[in-house]
Structure 1
Amino acid sequence: MPVCLFLSGACGAEPPVDVHALQREAREIDGLYALLTHLPITKAVDPRIAPDPQAPSCILQWYFNDLATLEAALVADGAIDRALRGAALMMDAHAFSQQTMAVRTFAPPQPAAVHNGMERCSYMVGYEGPADDFNAWLTHYLTHHPPLMLQLPALRELEIYTHVESRSALPFARAALMQRNKVVFDDPDALARALASAARDAMRRDFQALPPYSGATPHYPMRSIYGKFAAP
């Protein structure tokens, strides 16, 4: 199963990313097949959920085919550290949070290919947790929620992520969300239409039926810039 390193920029700061410089520095990292840069969208797209004042300044997603390859890139003075420094990103402990997660990918009815430098609109969702019984929670979620999510109009991508313990020498604080999701659309207007659809109503009903869990469920609409380096 592929894994993804999430680096989330500190809230309240300017996006600390030169996208082109970072992609240039990351292109030769062994095993990295995609690097996505997500930047906040300031306008409201979801009438049911108010914009989060604690939204991250950016989210970076680093995709690898397996955990061992990612961990090899996360050693001290390793490939990811060098790429971040080469792109002049802040490297103090408060600049980012980090989390490694397993990637589950679901094919929507209307997929569309992406290429390097392409932009789309993503809705990034997190479940802080913990769940009272994570196995029961995840089983319910994976059984019932993706079929509803795949009915969202004009959906281009759907991924669900679950927490993985991993080694990392990066200086950033560790995040520990039990799950994240990402739904992707062509632009913010398409996302807004999907969030006003009957499919979203069905998702909300299933959300209310989830097994008990605690913690917040942040939702972040973001502009997504693709770095595609190889096939997964």
Structure 2
Amino acid sequence: MQVCLFLIGASGQQPLLDVAPLQRIDGLRNLIEHEPIAQRVDPRIPPAANAPSCVLQLYFDELAALEAAATRDGPIHRALQAQSEVKRFTQQVMAVRALVSSTPGGQARAQRCTYLVAYEGPAEDFDTWLAHYLQHHAPLMSTLPALREVEIYTRIECAIGMPCARADAMQRNKVVFDDASALVDALASPVRDLMRRDFHTLPPYRGGTPHFAMRSTYGNLATH
């Protein structure tokens, strides 16, 4: 199972523009840069306040490789520090469950549209929560029309030393489409009605569930 480092930019600031230094990090298998979309895409959920200025996802095949890259003064820290960007990011390392996967390839900077969701938690019983989510909600989500990717993330503890504040969402997900119009159509579909009904049967939990529509750019990684 892959692991992913989320770097979440503070709301209201300029997005990180130069990701080239990050693309050369040893062990990095995928890098995705998300920037918020201004238009409203979801007829059922109002846009969340304080959308992040950007979200970076850095994927590694092993936790040890991620930890090595995310030490204090390590390559990720240096890449952010060179652009004076360290303090405006929060960080969270999560395990990746890829339920639907169609990552674009063959283009230097392929783009798609992503709906990112965070379940802040905590759940009353996280094991019961996750089992229900994976058995009931995720299969519905995977049938959204024109879907390209579905990933579900759960938090893990790890040893990293970057001086960024830590986020603590109990779970994150994303659904990915070719463009914003495909996302809009999917969120207005009958499948979404089924998802909303199932949402109300989820085991008890606290915290918000912010949803963010993002324009997603897939980096062309150098060979390590």
Question: What is the TM-score when the length of structure 2 is the normalising length?
Answer: 0.95
- Superposed, which structure 2 residues align to 1:202-213 within 5 Å? 202-213=194-205
Identity of aligned residues (%): 56
Q: Which amino acid aligns with 2:186?
A: A
Superposition deviation, residue 68 in structure 1:
0.7
For these two proteins, the number of residue pairs brought into alignment is: 222
Superposition deviation, residue 229 in structure 1:
2.4
Residue 37 of structure 1 contacts residue 224 of structure 1 at CA under 8 Å; is this kept in 2? yes
What does residue 129 of structure 1 align with? 121
Residue 33 of structure 1 contacts residue 230 of structure 1 at CA under 8 Å; is this kept in 2? no
What does residue 5 of structure 2 align with? 5
- 1-structure distance, mates of 2:108, 2:218: 5
**Structure 2 residue 143 is matched with structure 1 residue 138:** no
Ranges in structure 1 where 5+ consecutive residues have no aligned partner: none
Residue 104 of structure 2 contacts residue 110 of structure 2 at CA under 8 Å; is this kept in 1? no
Q: Which amino acid aligns with 2:96?
A: V
1:23-76 deviation line (CA, Å, top 9, x unaligned):
x21222111011110000001000111111211110000000011110001112
- 2-structure distance, mates of 1:89, 1:124: 26
- 1-structure distance, mates of 2:13, 2:103: 33
Q: Which amino acid aligns with 1:144?
A: H
What does residue 54 of structure 1 align with? 50
Residue 116 of structure 1 aligns to a residue whose secondary structure is coil
**Structure 2 residue 97 is matched with structure 1 residue 101:** no
What does residue 14 of structure 2 align with? 14
What does residue 72 of structure 2 align with? 76
- Superposed, which structure 2 residues align to 1:18-57 within 5 Å? 18=17, 21-22=18-19, 24-57=20-53
Distance change >3 Å, CA 63–CA 230, structure 1 → 2:
farther
Q: Which amino acid aligns with 1:120?
A: R
Distance change >3 Å, CA 155–CA 169, structure 1 → 2:
same
Partner residue of 2:156 out of 151, 155, 164: 164
Residue 115 of structure 2 aligns to a residue whose secondary structure is strand
Residue 190 of structure 1 aligns to a residue whose secondary structure is helix
Residue 34 of structure 1 contacts residue 230 of structure 1 at CA under 8 Å; is this kept in 2? no
Ranges in structure 2 where 5+ consecutive residues have no aligned partner: none
Partner residue of 2:108 out of 112, 116, 122: 116
Residue 38 of structure 1 contacts residue 59 of structure 1 at CA under 8 Å; is this kept in 2? yes
1:144-199 deviation line (CA, Å, top 9, x unaligned):
11210111010000000000111221111111000000000011110000000011
- 2-structure distance, mates of 1:7, 1:112: 20
Residue 123 of structure 1 aligns to a residue whose secondary structure is strand
Q: Which amino acid aligns with 2:64?
A: A
What does residue 199 of structure 1 align with? 191
Superposition deviation, residue 130 in structure 1:
0.4
- 1-structure distance, mates of 2:116, 2:145: 17
Superposition deviation, residue 89 in structure 1:
4.2
